[in-house]
Amino acid sequence: MALQSNDLQTAERYALVLVDLSLGFTDPELSPLASDCPQVVEANRQLLEAFRRRGWPVFFTTVAYDSPDQARVFREKLPSLNVLEAGSRLVEIDPRLAPREGEPVLVKHWASAFFGTDLKAQLDAAGVDGVMVTGLTTSGCVRATAVDALQHDLRVLVPEEAVGDRNQEAHKANLFDLQLKYVDVRPLERCLALLA
């Protein structure tokens, strides 16, 4: 990222929110929504390990539909979402990042991890004042989740190597815009250092 300030107002306690790191988004052989992103998966594996070691909360999200009227307009705009049927393999979290017992997997129907879920209540119960938002895709659900987290008055940190997009131009443009207006985008190494 070309646009960064050295100043970083950090949270006292972060939660890790892994957005849509399901097979539907990480395995291009299985899904039209997926991108080949082993580096994003690896960055998230490192963050997961650091959060677990620190004992800070971890939340996963997945998109899944079990009714044709769920997110109807969103699915009309992006019909490939229809492959994300509840109970299918595509909505399972990538096994390289398998959730542990006690790590919630929130099912969502729209872009933001906050919309239509109890994520904010769970973050409040966990006593966090900040979130690290990671996952797929930068221009869609990651962006929506990061902006909503800010709108819930949380400090938001996006580790840049831990997010990805099928479109690299959209990825870069959205990271630039998020950093400029809404959240802090920092290298993975800097984010991991906060967890040491």
Catalytic residues: 141
Q: How far apart are CA 194 and CA 191, in angstroms?
A: 5
For the chain, the straight-line distance linking the first and the last C-alpha, in angstroms and rounded, comes to 23
Q: Which residues contact 39 (CB under 8 A, 6 or more apart)?
A: 161, 164
Describe the crossing of helices 168-181 and 143-151 by its angle, rounded to 10 degrees: 10
- Per-residue buried b or exposed e for 145-160, using 16+ beta carbons within 10 Å of the residue's own CB: bbbbbbeeebbbbbbb
Q: Which residues contact 8 (CB under 8 A, 6 or more apart)?
A: 157, 184, 186, 190
CA-nearest of 68, 47, 72, 73 to 59 is 47
Geometric angle at alpha carbon 16, from 147 and 39, rounded to 5°: 95
Q: Which residues contact 126 (CB under 8 A, 6 or more apart)?
A: 13, 15, 57
